[in-house]
Chains A and B, each alone.
Chain A
């Protein structure tokens, strides 16, 4: 504090000196810095909006890995396309799943492991699910897979939201020479990430000269692993399946026509309904009961049918079962023409679900007659039906009365909501009465959609002279729109038919597809460190952030997600684009985020990214 008087006397003078402020040079440097700031702000990364549709196509392509039975280290690999993300349907080539020439799958159950590309589109595909082949057409080299279990645990139930992205569908018939084609798949054999190759439509190939081109030629490179993957047009829509890489005629590769593949998939997704009462989903059931003369080593029926020649010495019934409990008592009874032939009872120890067979035999051949099989679990009847060995009763004049279509069936077998136009239904029932039918007569029904056969079933009549019965056609998610026709045959002769229409539901036509919402939660800062364990809640419409914080209840939550160690999260429910939600993000070490009325971009596509930055407390 003390200073010499000499310095004291300098008090008051305000002359500019080296210590007085920055000085001219200092200001110049400062100005240069500020200029640099402006430049730094101006240079920003370009938005990736125009790449979004292709991103969806890339995410909709999965890797298919098929274990080969009896060869632990051998796998067949290829690619697949997600057609239906809720039912978990994946389209691929048959030759990825099995041998085309012998028409046998590489493993008995038709299982394949499905690996999915992570949402940031970088990095290798990650094994997520097991899928089973539910429909195949080796001639067309097409196979449809359905996801059945999570990869880590084959017994565990699937999550409600599989977290898949379906491919947008395009019209392969609209393609023209020179149009852009994008091949997406997993070409490498050993560990790879999804690959995208661009090319052009080089031509069309009509194999059987029926005027319809089943193949699209392209100059884009298709390697072995691309088989079964996705061929997309410029808008990222599905237009075909890369199938063959022909190298002998230069670099022209073949793509299976998309519309053809979709027809195959659509056929496969509809099936004959089981003519049983609607059941409790947890109850034990048997299904797909097929009578056959023999079974192969894999347990598949050989020589199936509903009528067998005289002298057949063994009759098999192959069936799928589900929801069977260990320890239950399983009983099956074979009857011939009403008389009990053979009966057995076992304590069930063969797993909850699967496929197996029972049989009945007689040395010297089974007698002619109507053979009926009844199966019971714990005393409850699960199945009762039969086939005929030998000549049937003389073909009678049996026929069927008019068919009534309905959306449902009541407990006593009566039609519910009868009509001829349906929309947004999964199953349609057809009711008719047999007239002068004889037991043992073979009758069948064929279902057509827009004049194409989509399902059929043959059976042996055992309802007596005139019984009311119903059959149904059911799809995995919804019956496709179109005109349906049911034809009933007795002993091969068409006796009755009826039609109905399935139309698009009016109200929901304008609503956009709900999208999968994903994103990354990071800490503020350049390094963008991921925040682990942050919980994201999208609240029910009408619930504000303050209301929720005041009284946190599950009823207020519409969808939620938790971030992993990289900060990536995924909501457990899809959101409709254009809708608004209040959003809350919790983490102990970061400041709470609460945003009211956050709107999902109306143009959003799956997956829709919502990234969040959190600030440390």
Chain B
């Protein structure tokens, strides 16, 4: 464990080798999360289908609220169990989760419902659904995740690995999804458990994955010089993903006169699986690159095993120019 001096936030940086932790625990936790969510859905659709019919009013709402928390709780549980190596403090993760939930419930949803009045116009046609979904809903939600991570944990010393971006952003995404699920339950006086559980799982999967994408970019920019368009590009990408995903999701579930919730769930599982795998792969490759560069740097400069900061750029690649 290094003893680190911090003159200023921007100047402090962890040892490069440290940045490149892969955190296998995170990825396994995410895959298990997917599985756990499938079981969650299966529980309410096949084992306890009639539970909802016997409940009504307040008990149903309370059950719905408890269900909203399950996806986030599952993920955090798996992650906690699997994050054995230098685990992230659970307190910080919960902190980010709650901050995001608070921001969503207190700011984002009111903005969407009352200022933008999305319910009036978003579903007016496929074009408004797609572009409104990206430009209004996606942008606001991505902005929330960005701000929560940026001002909630970004400068914290706990944020010392590239993959921390993904971790904390995922927690923020789950916080957002949980509040959306809460609202769904409360606004409709309880929820039909079978369809409700599917809808909650889809929300959780989508937001966790796309927040993860944003988190990757955040993690990169925390520890690297990046081109000016890099982080905004990542932001735009996650906004587009959110809008596009729910647009396609809607097309898939509303097939004619019947509602195909299961197709929507399968679609969400596939998308989440691909996205998470992609993010994992990107993080892994970036880490490899970092480690490779470090090895090259330490091989070129013999000395104590731990490099503090590279004094010169490696020869292979020209240095980035700051604008």
**Residues of chain A whose beta carbon lies under 8 Å from any beta carbon of chain B:** 1-3, 7-8, 10-11, 19, 21-22, 30, 33, 36-37, 40, 523-527, 529, 546, 549, 583, 588, 591-593, 595, 598, 610-617
Asked if A1 contacts B125 (CB within 8 A), the reply is no
Give the complex CA separation of A592 and B256 in angstroms.
11
Contacts of B32 in A (CB 8 A): 21-22
We find that the number of chain B residues with CB closer than 8 angstroms to chain A is: 41
Asked if B82 contacts A11 (CB within 8 A), the reply is no
The answer to whether the Cβ of B85 comes within 8 Å of any Cβ in the partner chain is yes
Q: Show 28 residue pairs from A and B whose CB-CB distance is below 8 angstroms, ordered by the A residue.
A: A1-B86, A1-B87, A1-B158, A2-B1, A10-B85, A11-B85, A19-B84, A21-B28, A30-B35, A30-B39, A33-B46, A37-B42, A524-B259, A525-B52, A525-B195, A525-B196, A526-B52, A526-B53, A526-B194, A529-B192, A549-B124, A583-B257, A591-B254, A592-B124, A613-B257, A615-B253, A617-B119, A617-B123
Contacts of B193 in A (CB 8 A): 525-526
Asked if B257 contacts A593 (CB within 8 A), the reply is yes
Q: A524-B192, A529-B192, A615-B259 are in contact. Are A1 and B89 (CB under 8 A)?
A: yes
Residue of A nearest to B49 (CB): A526
**Residues of chain B whose beta carbon lies under 8 Å from any beta carbon of chain A:** 1, 28, 32, 35, 39, 42, 46-47, 49-50, 52-53, 81-82, 84-89, 119, 123-125, 158, 184, 188, 191-196, 250, 253-254, 256-259, 261
Least CB distance from B105 to A in Å reads 18
Contacts of B125 in A (CB 8 A): 546, 549
Give the complex CA separation of A616 and B123 in angstroms.
12
Give the complex CA separation of A7 and B84 in angstroms.
9
Residue of B nearest to A39 (CB): B46
Contacts of A549 in B (CB 8 A): 124-125
Asked if B46 contacts A526 (CB within 8 A), the reply is no
Asked if A612 contacts B257 (CB within 8 A), the reply is yes
Closest 7 CB pairs of A and B: A525-B192, A524-B259, A525-B195, A612-B257, A613-B259, A524-B195, A526-B194
Asked if B257 contacts A610 (CB within 8 A), the reply is yes
Give the complex CA separation of A523 and B193 in angstroms.
12
- Interface centre among B47, B253, B254, by most chain A C-beta atoms within 10 angstroms, is B254
Residue of B nearest to A521 (CB): B257
Asked if A40 contacts B46 (CB within 8 A), the reply is yes
Give the complex CA separation of A33 and B44 in angstroms.
12
Residue of A nearest to B192 (CB): A525
Contacts of B89 in A (CB 8 A): 1
Q: A595-B256, A617-B123 are in contact. Are A3 and B86 (CB under 8 A)?
A: yes
Residue of B nearest to A590 (CB): B123
Asked if B53 contacts A591 (CB within 8 A), the reply is no
Contacts of A527 in B (CB 8 A): 52-53, 192
Q: A1-B87, A1-B88, A524-B259 are in contact. Are A592 and B192 (CB under 8 A)?
A: no
Asked if A33 contacts B39 (CB within 8 A), the reply is yes
Contacts of B81 in A (CB 8 A): 19
Least CB distance from A322 to B in Å reads 45
Asked if A36 contacts B46 (CB within 8 A), the reply is yes
Contacts of B196 in A (CB 8 A): 525
Give the complex CA separation of A21 and B256 in angstroms.
40
Give the complex CA separation of A529 and B60 in angstroms.
15
- Interface centre among B46, B81, B88, B158, by most chain A C-beta atoms within 10 angstroms, is B46
Q: A2-B1, A617-B123 are in contact. Are A593 and B254 (CB under 8 A)?
A: yes
Give the complex CA separation of A556 and B184 in angstroms.
35
Give the complex CA separation of A588 and B125 in angstroms.
14
Give the complex CA separation of A549 and B87 in angstroms.
54
Contacts of B87 in A (CB 8 A): 1, 3
Contacts of B192 in A (CB 8 A): 523-527, 529
Give the complex CA separation of A591 and B259 in angstroms.
11
Give the complex CA separation of A598 and B184 in angstroms.
31
Give the complex CA separation of A315 and B51 in angstroms.
78
Contacts of A616 in B (CB 8 A): 184, 188
Residue of B nearest to A524 (CB): B259
Asked if A611 contacts B257 (CB within 8 A), the reply is yes
Q: Which of B42, B84, B88, B119 contacts A10 (CB 8 A)?
A: B84
Contacts of A19 in B (CB 8 A): 81-82, 84
Give the complex CA separation of A21 and B87 in angstroms.
18
Contacts of B195 in A (CB 8 A): 524-526
Least CB distance from B99 to A in Å reads 19
Residue of A nearest to B124 (CB): A549
Q: A526-B192, A614-B259 are in contact. Are A591 and B49 (CB under 8 A)?
A: no
Residue of B nearest to A40 (CB): B46
- Interface centre among A524, A546, A617, by most chain B C-beta atoms within 10 angstroms, is A524
Asked if A525 contacts B46 (CB within 8 A), the reply is no
Give the complex CA separation of A549 and B42 in angstroms.
38
Known pairs A22-B32, A591-B254, A614-B259; list 17 more (Cβ under 8 Å). A10-B84, A11-B86, A19-B81, A33-B42, A36-B46, A36-B47, A525-B191, A526-B193, A526-B195, A527-B53, A546-B125, A549-B124, A549-B125, A592-B123, A592-B124, A612-B257, A613-B257
Contacts of B250 in A (CB 8 A): 591
Give the complex CA separation of A523 and B188 in angstroms.
11
Give the complex CA separation of A592 and B191 in angstroms.
20
Give the complex CA separation of A610 and B184 in angstroms.
28
Asked if B261 contacts A524 (CB within 8 A), the reply is yes
Contacts of B253 in A (CB 8 A): 615
Contacts of A526 in B (CB 8 A): 49-50, 52-53, 192-195
Give the complex CA separation of A439 and B256 in angstroms.
73
